[in-house]
Structure 1
């Protein structure tokens, strides 16, 4: 499962598919995860506040392919914060649809008066709860987690989801989380920092 998928499940670990975060924080965290997937695929890098495409070959995943096409097509825009804000607008729906196609969630439309909202309901509650459980177990172990898992943990912390992962963990896990974020490769560490700053700014201005 890709990191944006796991982030989505941690952020919506609820039998009704209800988000644990403010919509803007959820969207920005998922936007960071979608960019993180492309960094991990070796197709973009992040440095000095800018996103740079280094490999235009389409990735196997359809959503990652779409995001890469957007980066290539709008190459005049390179600021990480610009792309986080842009991708955040559609990230929840895009990743939710990817998980629905994978059979993890079920798309559900709710009509009220003149408005239709879409939610993504778990098909198997254990599958939805697994990413948070898995990350908690990783932090309790002595072995360092993989770079993708470290990136996911960094984005979880950046978006304000730490409690969902560490609610029953001991002091060792809390300490390791901070150390892991600091030890990420430079592009991913910077991406996590920009995501955290974007989430903080959105919360301060009360973004919808």
Structure 2
């Protein structure tokens, strides 16, 4: 089942505890991880490329038939069109990846897109809590304990047995490392197993996916420094 769940959705599920019914990450690192995951999905769909810190929509790429990806891709294409209209040079200038991660992670943009997509599959449920003043707060919780726990088990077991991870699992594990989520989800791994994970990311992950992880890690680091 987990193989059919999109990357950003799996990251959201991993980041939420079904027992205490809350996120295991702060909203900022969670948003950064989700933003990076959505951009990674667009690269995997071959709608987007990244080079030297800049995102480039692939010319002629079909808009993904996906409720979370289509709005992001549409806006990327529109921004690229606007940029070109203000430049004499027809060469694509691209858009800064760090700006897009910041934009998507702010105001729950990435989280809202992912939760809406998860809602269609029934993997999250809408909850409402009222404050002492009677004002309702809407939040979402996972409905399937297996869906939240299986990715970390899958990754940990592979590393403990010395097996190589799939590229998507490498990205998911990389997002856990970049956001600090690994301290909870991969807490049972020994240091040498974490080293093995880092080696696999460096050796086997596509350079564009590694670059997105780098920008996510940088964004999380900047968030910590500005607290």
Tell me, yes or no, if structure 1 residue 25 matches structure 2 residue 29: yes
Residue-by-residue CA offset, 1:63-115 (whole Å, 9 max, x unaligned):
11111111111123700110001111211222122112111110113232375
Corresponding residue for residue 47 of structure 1? 51
Aligned pair partner of 1:117 in 124, 127, 137: 137
Aligned pair partner of 2:198 in 175, 178, 203: 178
Corresponding residue for residue 66 of structure 2? 61
Q: Aligned equivalents of 1:102 and 1:8: distance in 2?
A: 14
Corresponding residue for residue 203 of structure 1? 224
Corresponding residue for residue 2 of structure 1? 6
State which structure, 1 or 2, has the greater radius of gyration over its C-alpha atoms.
Answer: 2
Stretches of structure 1 lacking an aligned partner (at least 5 in a row): none
Stretches of structure 2 lacking an aligned partner (at least 5 in a row): 84-93
Output the TM-score relative to the length of structure 2.
0.84
Corresponding residue for residue 85 of structure 1? 102
The aligned length equals 206
5 Å-filtered alignment, 1:128-207, equals 128-183=148-203, 184-206=205-227
Distance 1:81 1:115, change over 3 A: farther
Aligned pair partner of 1:127 in 128, 136, 147: 147
Q: CA deviation at 1:44?
A: 0.6
Cα RMSD after superposing both structures = 1.7
* Runs of 4+ residues over 6 Å off in structure 1: none
SS in 2 for 1:132: helix
Corresponding residue for residue 42 of structure 2? 38
SS in 1 for 2:128: strand
